Amino acid sequence: ARVARLAEHPAGMARALGLARRHDVVHVQWLPVPEIDVAPLHALARLRPLVYTAHNATPHDAPPTPAQTALWRAIYRAPRAIVAHDAATAGALTTTFGVPAERVHRLPHGNFAYLDAHPAPPAPPTDLLAFGFIGPYKGLDVLLDALPRVRRAVPDVHLRVVGRPRGDVGEVLARVRALAREGRAELDERFVPDGALPSLFDAARLVVLPYREISQSGVAVLAATRGRAIVASDVGGLGELVRAAGCGLLAPPGDADALADAIVALLTDDDARAACAERGRAFARGALAWGPIAARTAALYRLIG
C-alpha cells in the first residue's frame, strides 16, 4: 500500500499546483516525501503566498544529518511564513535552519473538543495509557523499565499500549506481549478511528508520554481535552504544554526511575490526579480553543497575502 501511495504522490502534488491557482494563500501541513516535495513546494511558493506548519523541526529518532539539515533549509526557504506550535520548534527553525525570526509565527495546537460529538461505549478501565505510533523516539522501553518500580507501590498496575508500530520496535513489543500474557498489559496495534478515541482516553487513569524527543504532541492535547492527567518527559513542546496547563508531572527523558516516581505520585493521590485533569481540561478548552486559533491563522494569511 505504501508503494502504491508513493507512486501516486507526484500526481497528487501536480493536482496541488493546479488547485493553488484557485486560492489566495496555500497552507501546507505535511511533506510526506521531503526529498521529492521540496521542488513542488518551491513551485507552490512561486504561484501563491505559502504558509507551512512545522509540526516537528527535525527528524524524530536522531539529530539531523548534514544532508537532512541542507534539505530542510531548502524547504524552509520556500514559505513566507512558518507556523510553530511551541518555543522549542520556533527556536530550532531559527538556530538550526536559519529561518529569519520574523517569518516564524507561534500558533498553538488546537484542542479535540470535536470528539465530544462521538459518544461510544466505555472501554475497559486501565491505569496507564500509552497511545500513538510506536517508534523508538516514543520511549516505550523507558516506561516498561519504570513499571517494576511502579509495582512496588501499585502492585496491580495495568498498562494499555495502543498504536501502530513504526521502525525497529520488535524488542519493545515483545516485552509488552510478555506483560500481556501475565495480565499486566494490553497491546492493540490497530489504527483507532476518531469515534473510539473518547472512550479509550476516558478509561485511563493516566496518559503516559515517555518520549525521548518530540516537538509537540497531539496526544497530550487530546489527553488534556478529555480531562486526563499526564505523566510525560520534559522535552520540547510536551514539557511546555504540561507546565502551561498544569495537567500533570514531568520527568527527564530516559529516566525510568523519575518516570516511575511521577506515575506513582499521581496514581496514589486521587485528589492531585483529579486536579491535574481538571486544569488540563480547562486549559485545552480555553487556551487551545479553535475559534481564537482560527482568527490568528486568518490574520496571518492576511499578513502575507
CA–CA distance, 36 with 11 (Å, rounded to integer)? 12
C-alpha cell at 52: 507551512
pLDDT of residue 259 exceeding 90, the answer is yes
C-alpha cell at 194: 476518531
For residue 141, give the nearest of 55, 217, 206, 233 by alpha carbon: 233
Return mean pLDDT, the chain: 93
For 156, phi then psi, to 5°, come to -100, 25
Q: What is the pLDDT of residues 126-139, one digit of tens each?
A: 999 999 999 999 99
Give the pLDDT score at 62. Answer: 60
CA–CA distance, 103 with 100 (Å, rounded to integer)? 6
Q: What is the pLDDT of residues 15-56, one digit of tens each?
A: 888 888 899 999 999 888 899 899 999 999 999 999 999 998
Average pLDDT for residues 244-267, to the nearest whole number? Answer: 98
What is the residue type of 176?
V
pLDDT of residue 13 exceeding 70, the answer is yes
What is the residue type of 194?
D
Task: Report the share of the chain in percent with pLDDT over 90.
Answer: 82
For residue 112, give the nearest of 289, 243, 244, 242 by alpha carbon: 289
For 250, phi then psi, to 5°, come to -120, 150
Indicate the SS3 state at residue 14.
Answer: helix
CB 216 within 8 A of CB 241: yes
Chain position carrying cell 485511563: 204
Give the pLDDT score at 152. Answer: 98
Q: What is the pLDDT of residues 227-250, one digit of tens each?
A: 999 999 999 899 999 999 999 999
CA–CA distance, 217 with 33 (Å, rounded to integer)? 21
Domains and CATH numbers, the chain: 2-110+289-304 (3.40.50.2000), 113-286 (3.40.50.2000)
**Helix H or strand E segment including 27:** strand 26-28
Q: What is the pLDDT of residues 275-290, one digit of tens each?
A: 999 999 999 999 999 9
Binning pLDDT at 50, 70 and 90, where does residue 114 land? very high
pLDDT of residue 1 exceeding 60, the answer is no
Q: What is the pLDDT of residues 48-103, one digit of tens each?
A: 999 999 998 876 656 778 999 999 999 999 999 999 999 999 999 999 999 999 99
CA–CA distance, 96 with 79 (Å, rounded to integer)? 17
Chain position carrying cell 508520554: 209
Binning pLDDT at 50, 70 and 90, where does residue 155 land? very high
| Contacts of residue 235, Cβ cutoff 8 Å, sequence gap at least 6 | 211, 212, 213, 214, 253
| Cα angle for residues 158, 116, 230 (degrees, 5° grid) | 35
For 236, left (φ over 0), alpha (ψ -120 to 50), or beta? Answer: left
DSSP letter for 162, please: E
End-to-end CA distance of the chain: 38
Find the length of the chain: 305
In terms of DSSP H, where are the helices of the chain?
2-20, 34-47, 66-76, 87-95, 140-153, 170-181, 197-202, 218-225, 236-245, 256-267, 270-286, 290-304
Q: What is the pLDDT of residues 182-195, one digit of tens each?
A: 999 999 999 999 99
C-alpha cell at 107: 500558533
Chain position carrying cell 516535495: 37
CB 216 within 8 A of CB 238: yes
Choice between 222 and 61, residue whose per-residue pLDDT is larger? 222
Average pLDDT for residues 206-232, to the nearest whole number? Answer: 96
CA–CA distance, 168 with 186 (Å, rounded to integer)? 20
